[in-house]
Amino acid sequence: MSWLRRLRPDGFLLAIVASAVLASFFPARGLGMTLLHGASTVAIFLLFFLYGARIAPREALRGLAHWRLHLTILAFTFVLFPLLGIALRPLSGTLLSPQLYAGLLYLTLVPSTVQSSIAFTSIARGNVPGAIVSASASNLLGVFVTPALVVLVMAGANGRVGLGQIGDIVVQLLLPFVLGQLSQRWTAGFVKTHNAPLKLVDRGVVVLVVYTAFSQGMSEHMWSQVTGPQLVVLVAVCLALLALMLLVTWWVPKRMGFNREDNIAIQFCGTKKSLATGLPMAQVLFAGVGGVGLLVLPLMIFHQAQLMACSVLAQRYARAEELAGQPTPEP
């Protein structure tokens, strides 16, 4: 029953949900909201500086020899996912409110996770070096690709990004990331030595961003803009999207001739969407647009669903590998 224990929400997600609930009942207002926005701006700058200081381009370049693997994962993350998001556009204004659909579309544009993609690949005995390179490359490229995709793809969705946000993207996302990359000569050792406490900083920033977004949403009466049936539809669509991607990322690589280890890395890296990167990005990308709280709700739902599903699959693949002569089961 070890797989059942893995279905429990992790502490990070519980903290995020708690901050959303707290903001729904006790939102920041007035001067408190102004100070909170300022703190969020500084925190997001720090977060993307740490991303830049943590992700070494040299490591990613070293593993690019297996280019078919990495291109396949990036194609799932930044091509197939967005296409599926666009294909769901008829849901906007019918089964889902425009705000919820915008959030659903946004979740398809964010990069893959790093830690969980690597961890699940390791548990399942897949290609861990390949997962490390691909997940890192996804986040490295995501700082540039996700804002570009949002500008291109979300023009017709509620909460679109206009030219006014381009400066914020550069200042709050790209500039600190580039500074972090340039600072690695001096900061790499510190970041590596203090990796555990810095992860708490990462997560604290995300929790702060969620509280800020939902506080702003309460001032806009966001919960009056969504119904119970729409939330049920949203959960169902997120689960269906995840199931489809798990099947596609297993079936297509097998037909392309990838071995079992590569297949596992592709599935676990190609189906993930990063909550830790996506939420702060949304706060910057959609600043001043409104409805950020509802816009990040699909990503929060999808994040927990992917952790639960991949936990089960990773355990299943590991058990199958331990049984001599038996093939890895299909997802």
Q: What does the pLDDT profile of the chain (331 residues) look like in tens digits?
A: 454 455 555 676 688 788 888 888 888 888 888 888 888 888 888 888 887 787 666 655 555 567 889 899 999 999 999 999 999 999 988 899 888 999 999 999 999 987 788 888 888 888 887 887 888 788 878 888 998 898 888 865 554 555 555 666 777 777 888 888 888 888 878 888 887 788 788 778 878 887 887 787 777 677 777 788 999 999 999 999 999 999 999 999 999 999 999 999 999 999 999 887 888 888 888 876 666 778 888 998 898 888 888 888 888 888 887 774 555 555 5
CATH code of 255's domain: 1.20.1530.20
Note the maximum CA span of the chain: 66
What pLDDT does residue 57 have? 65
Does some domain include residue 329? no
Give the C-alpha distances (Å, rounded to integers) separating 123 from 127, 270, 286, 304: 10, 16, 37, 18
d(CA 38, CA 198): 21
Range of the domain at 133: 2-321
Burial class from Cβ neighbours inside 10 Å (0-12, 13-18, 19+) for residue 45 reads: buried
What pLDDT does residue 164 have? 55
What pLDDT does residue 263 have? 94
What pLDDT does residue 142 have? 85
Q: Which residue has the tokens 């199958």?
A: 320
Give the C-alpha distances (Å, rounded to integers) separating 84 from 95, 108, 158, 240: 17, 8, 17, 11
Does some domain include residue 311? yes
Sign of the CA dihedral with 283 first, then 285, 291, and 294 last: negative
Does some domain include residue 327? no
d(CA 77, CA 249): 10
d(CA 299, CA 312): 20
Does some domain include residue 93? yes
Domain count, the chain: 1
Does some domain include residue 326? no
Give the C-alpha distances (Å, rounded to integers) separating 60 from 57, 129, 134, 279: 5, 10, 8, 24
pTM (whole model) above 0.85: no
Does some domain include residue 18? yes
What pLDDT does residue 215 have? 81
Q: Which residues on neighbouring strands pair with residue 92, listed in sequence order? A: 96
What pLDDT does residue 96 have? 92
